[in-house]
Amino acid sequence: MQKSVINAVKDVLYPGACPLCGKPAPVVEGSRLLACPECLDELETVGNVYCLKCGKEIKGYDKQYCYDCARVKHVYDQGAAALAYTENIKQSIYRYKYKGKREYAEWYGQILAKECGSRIRMWGPDVIVPVPLHPKKLKSRGYNQAALMAKALGRELGINVDCDYLARVHNTAPMKKLTTEERIKNLKNAFIINKNDVKYNKILLVDDIYTTGATVDACAAVLKAGGVRDVYCISLCVGKGI
Ligand SMILES: [Zn+2]
Ligand SMILES: [Zn+2]
Looking at residue 192, its pLDDT comes to 95
**Cβ atoms of 206 and 60 closer than 8 Å:** no
Task: Average pLDDT across each block of 10 residues of the chain; the chain has 242 residues. List them in order.
Answer: 67 76 89 89 90 91 89 95 93 94 94 96 98 93 96 98 95 75 82 92 97 93 96 92 62
The amino acid present at 126, given as its one-letter code, is: D
Give the span between the Cα atoms of 112 and 210, in whole angstroms: 13
Looking at residue 175, its pLDDT comes to 72
Domain layout of the chain by residue ranges = 1-42, 46-238
Give the span between the Cα atoms of 198 and 165, in whole angstroms: 8
Q: Which residues pair with 166 in a beta bridge?
A: 193
Question: In sequence order, what E strands does 163-229 have?
Answer: 166-168, 191-193, 202-210
- 46-238 under CATH 1.10.8.60, yes or no: no
Q: Three-state SS across 208-224?
A: EEECCCHHHHHHHHHHH
Q: For strand 127-130 and strand 78-84, is the pairing parallel, antiparallel, or unpaired?
A: unpaired
Those residues whose beta carbon sits under 5 angstroms from the ion ligand 2 are: 51, 53-54, 56, 66, 69
State the distance from the centre of ligand 2 to the C-alpha of 135, rounded, in angstroms. Answer: 31
Looking at residue 7, its pLDDT comes to 67
Ligand sitting nearest the alpha carbon of 212: 2
